[in-house]
Structure 1
Amino acid sequence: MRHVWVDASAGVAGDMLLGALLDAGASLDAVQRAVDAVVAGAVAIEVRTVTRAGMRATKADVRMLVDDPPHRDWRTIQVMLGDAEVPERVRRDALAVFGRLADAEARAHGIPAADVHFHEVGALDSIADVVGVCAALADLEVETLSAGEVALGSGTVRMAHGRIAVPGPAVVELSRGWRVRGDGPGELTTPTGMALVTTLAQACEDLPAMRLETSGSGAGTRDTAGRPNLTRVLVGERTGNPAPARGQTGVVLEANVDDLDPRLWPGVLTALLGAGAQDAWLAPVAMKKGRPAHVLTVLGTPETAPRLRTVVHAQTSTIGVRQTTVEKHALPRTWVDVDVAGQRVGIKVSHDGGRVVRATPEFEDVARAAAQSGRPAVDVLAAATAAAVAAGLEPGVPVPTPASRGVERVGHADHAHGHDHPHPHPHAEGVS
């Protein structure tokens, strides 16, 4: 499995992690496209090579293209991400990161998560950092991620609410269960950086056994003598024990509802998915005295459960929610892109023991390709399925290696960073 280990021993911020992933070979074009899909024409991501205490690194800068960007609340960011035409993986990860940020800020300030105005976190540059990091991980085809001990800093820093002690309350909330240390003056880790690490990483661990493919260093703004202000990533194939699979522990929420206008249910399910639910569904039942009703079931994680319960109470007429902790066993998965009528469609490949179990076109990609090409969705779905077979994605065959997937993903190289990628070999028509 392709793995990324994050070295945050000097701290981490959103732009530092983004710079490290770009330095490791993620496509700047892919990152910019994802950001534009969320905040079109608002920011431009620019990269440059810098040194920090004598060490070379990539600095990712977010240049504003609009004046006076607004503060945004969690509801607004949910809608923006929900409406954006981005790969489902990028949407899911970005929603999860912002959801953790909202929960942390809510606990720190004693307000409901839905009412959190992110201030620094919700500004355009931080939206670009979160979406950019999620898009970069998808472009690098990372399947698992872990990180080491995080340096948080010390002293005080001025924020929108005034001068506060380092680490700030949001960073403290986001650090629960993680190995951290002070290790230097000033704010070494931002809420955005800590949310990205603790949301997307499956484990806090020292550098695991891996076959290293590439690495990258992302620079912070300050250049501190004797202390490289860098976040590093190491990318490769994990060769030791795998990191714990994300979401092994799940939470199931249930509620019986017999007095809700059925026209409202599609919006309820959409709101739950937008709030970070892994799945949400309805089942018709007959309650006491024969009354017709629905059982609403929501699958989430222990971290998202409080937010999902809030959505259920706000969006339905129920006054009670049942919550059960479950153990999930999910097959690992990866993605391969195919080309259908000039449109990219992602193929989700689940695998076990190094062999493909199932290869399924992502239907949101199919629907988008159908709309843009003018072809019926049923035809695009059939073409994508055929292209997957032509690419050798059939049950029982070996899972494509990271190297072969890099060959298949033509046009993802970011040559501005000086990373050379192999030219594609001839392959079946319809595979990109």
Structure 2
Amino acid sequence: MAKFAYFDCLSGIAGDMTLAALIDAGADQEQIQAALCSMGLPELKLETQDVKKCGFRALYLQVKHPPEHAHRHLHHITEMIDSAGEIDDQAKELAKSIFQHVAVAEAKVHGTTLRKVHFHEVGAIDSIADIVGVSVAITSLGITAAMASPVPVGSGQIVIDHGRVSVPAPATAEILQGVPLAASSLQAELTTPTGAAIIKQLATDFGPLPPLQIESIGYGAGTADFPEQPNMLRILIGQRGELDTSEQQSISEFRQPTVIQSDSVAVLETNLDDASGEQIADCVNRLFDAGALDVTQIPCIMKKGRPGVVLSVIAPPELSSKLETVMFRFSPTIGLRKRICQRSLLPRQTITIDTPWGTIPAKSVQISAHEQRIKVEHDDACRMADQHDLTPESIRHYAEGVALSDNERVEPV
């Protein structure tokens, strides 16, 4: 029977706390151990023990393994998961979705692509064990829906591979976009990137404990001790009654990693029927120089049947006054329309691609959590093609293929 889980994140959430709480709530530790070993990690061992946190009992989990220093990429981890014979398909998909949240966040904060991003702490064996172990536990317990309390992240500063950063760490903050956060005065990192990715994937709602017929409760202990409160995660599992259609889906489908972002832009427009082409072109160039994000010219028919142009400008709201001045000074308009619009957009960044003929800049666009688009600008391709007696299209084809895959490359001709 499908079950519902409530994550009580009083002291945040981390991967080891979550896995410990699920084992404490009834997940089979030996089954999880076997699943992890089948990923090609035969020396990995899960060790658990009862501990006290501010006088309350909780289960503490440690992942034991030989030392290693490798930084894995996402595709390495995906291959390990897919090759595991003791993990069912539902748990595999859930684990890969959780890792995807981390990969998208790490790629953004480090200015790279999903293909090239290193996983640092998340690529370490213990974090792989946490995420995959949680996925196996969730599916084996029959949990198909979950919600959580608002998530505290802590405060202060911590030291990571890249030096000292404020809490929440950059990747954690990226992952937790859209997740309600709870205030905490504790000077510590309460929520880790692994924990953030787990709760982002599992929880479809955040708030107080809903009506629930509790069947089991698990307590997972964190490593640190706080005098103010017990450092542990509590997970309550049971029946919530009739679930709506969305809650009857597989939990791996609940919150697919999303990369769509939103912001606000100013849109300035004016109709021109008494400007020459040269005057409009000059105005457009000045608008771009002043910070316009985009400028378009739309042919139109104005009053008295005269042909005209709608000059439309998209700009950051803080630059709208500056761009208004440009339009009034360098076009014959005596009035314009302006509005603030909400804009949905895909994350994009400029990257450089190594080719046999040198490096070439390109735009990397994240279409979804599992798909990206690479675009080499035509002017850049032309410059490289002219220098090496190649065609621009072959340069673009090769460079974009290199960025998307290290395995399938088409030699230019």
Query: TM-score band, normalised by the shorter chain?
Result: 0.5 to 0.7
**Distance (whole Å) between structure 1 residues aligned to residue 23 and residue 237 of structure 2:** 12
**What displacement does 1:103 show?**
0.2
Given that 1:212 and 1:235 are in contact with CA atoms closer than 8 Å, whether structure 2 keeps it comes out as yes
SS in 2 for 1:208: coil
Residue type at the aligned position of 1:217:
Y
1:274-293 mapped onto 2 (5 Å cutoff): none
Q: C-alpha offsets along residues 120-148 of structure 1, whole Å, 9 cap, x if unaligned?
A: 11100000000111111112111111111
**Distance (whole Å) between structure 2 residues aligned to residue 76 and residue 250 of structure 1:** 21
Structure 2 gap segments, 5+ residues each = 258-365, 375-399
**What displacement does 1:42 show?**
3.2
Residue type at the aligned position of 1:204:
F
1:61-140 mapped onto 2 (5 Å cutoff): 61-64=62-65, 66-85=66-85, 86-140=87-141
**What displacement does 1:249 show?**
8.8
SS in 2 for 1:187: coil
Given that 1:146 and 1:205 are in contact with CA atoms closer than 8 Å, whether structure 2 keeps it comes out as yes
**What displacement does 1:309 show?**
3.2
Given that 2:201 and 2:255 are in contact with CA atoms closer than 8 Å, whether structure 1 keeps it comes out as no
**Distance (whole Å) between structure 1 residues aligned to residue 367 and residue 152 of structure 2:** 26
Residue type at the aligned position of 1:26:
A
**Distance (whole Å) between structure 2 residues aligned to residue 58 and residue 42 of structure 1:** 22
Given that 2:18 and 2:134 are in contact with CA atoms closer than 8 Å, whether structure 1 keeps it comes out as yes
Given that 1:210 and 1:240 are in contact with CA atoms closer than 8 Å, whether structure 2 keeps it comes out as no
1:193 aligns with 2:195: yes
Question: Counterpart in 2 of 1:58?
Answer: 59
1:170 aligns with 2:171: yes
SS in 2 for 1:153: coil
Question: Counterpart in 1 of 2:162?
Answer: 161
Q: C-alpha offsets along residues 54-111 of structure 1, whole Å, 9 cap, x if unaligned?
A: 11000011111x2324221112112111222210011101100111100011111111
Call closer, same or farther: CA 1:82–1:89 in 2, change over 3 Å.
same
Question: Counterpart in 2 of 1:150?
Answer: 151
Residue type at the aligned position of 2:9:
A
**Distance (whole Å) between structure 1 residues aligned to residue 187 and residue 245 of structure 2:** 32
Given that 2:16 and 2:222 are in contact with CA atoms closer than 8 Å, whether structure 1 keeps it comes out as yes
Q: Normalising to structure 2: TM-score of the pair?
A: 0.60
Question: Counterpart in 1 of 2:330?
Answer: none
SS in 1 for 2:370: helix
Call closer, same or farther: CA 1:105–1:250 in 2, change over 3 Å.
closer
**What displacement does 1:206 show?**
2.1
Question: Counterpart in 2 of 1:211?
Answer: 213
Given that 2:7 and 2:236 are in contact with CA atoms closer than 8 Å, whether structure 1 keeps it comes out as yes
Question: Counterpart in 2 of 1:47?
Answer: 48
SS in 2 for 1:9: coil
**What displacement does 1:241 show?**
5.4
Call closer, same or farther: CA 1:26–1:126 in 2, change over 3 Å.
same
**Distance (whole Å) between structure 1 residues aligned to residue 156 and residue 245 of structure 2:** 34
SS in 1 for 2:139: helix
Question: Counterpart in 1 of 2:18?
Answer: 17
The counterpart of 1:220, out of the listed 219, 222, 242, is 222
Given that 1:202 and 1:243 are in contact with CA atoms closer than 8 Å, whether structure 2 keeps it comes out as no
Q: Normalising to structure 1: TM-score of the pair?
A: 0.58
Residue type at the aligned position of 1:173:
E
The counterpart of 1:305, out of the listed 353, 360, 368, is 368
Cα RMSD of the aligned pairs, angstroms, is 2.5
The counterpart of 2:232, out of the listed 230, 235, 251, is 230
Given that 1:30 and 1:139 are in contact with CA atoms closer than 8 Å, whether structure 2 keeps it comes out as no
Residue type at the aligned position of 1:72:
R
Call closer, same or farther: CA 1:173–1:249 in 2, change over 3 Å.
closer
Call closer, same or farther: CA 1:250–1:113 in 2, change over 3 Å.
closer
Call closer, same or farther: CA 1:154–1:244 in 2, change over 3 Å.
farther
Residue type at the aligned position of 2:238:
G
Call closer, same or farther: CA 1:91–1:249 in 2, change over 3 Å.
closer
More deviation in 89-98 or 180-189?
A: 180-189
Q: C-alpha offsets along residues 340-384 of structure 1, whole Å, 9 cap, x if unaligned?
A: xxxxxxxxxxxxxxxxxxxxxxxxxxxxxxxxxxxxxxxxxxxxx
Given that 2:72 and 2:123 are in contact with CA atoms closer than 8 Å, whether structure 1 keeps it comes out as yes
Given that 1:120 and 1:126 are in contact with CA atoms closer than 8 Å, whether structure 2 keeps it comes out as yes
**Distance (whole Å) between structure 2 residues aligned to residue 228 and residue 174 of structure 1:** 25
Question: Counterpart in 1 of 2:39?
Answer: 38
Given that 1:144 and 1:243 are in contact with CA atoms closer than 8 Å, whether structure 2 keeps it comes out as no
Question: Counterpart in 2 of 1:300?
Answer: none
**What displacement does 1:35 show?**
1.0
Residue type at the aligned position of 2:97:
A
Q: C-alpha offsets along residues 195-248 of structure 1, whole Å, 9 cap, x if unaligned?
A: 001012222232111111010110000111131000110000012654943647
SS in 2 for 1:204: coil
**What displacement does 1:304 show?**
7.6
1:288-367 mapped onto 2 (5 Å cutoff): 305-310=368-373, 314=404
SS in 2 for 1:136: helix
**Distance (whole Å) between structure 1 residues aligned to residue 146 and residue 245 of structure 2:** 8
Given that 2:202 and 2:254 are in contact with CA atoms closer than 8 Å, whether structure 1 keeps it comes out as no
Question: Counterpart in 2 of 1:239?
Answer: 241
Given that 2:36 and 2:129 are in contact with CA atoms closer than 8 Å, whether structure 1 keeps it comes out as yes
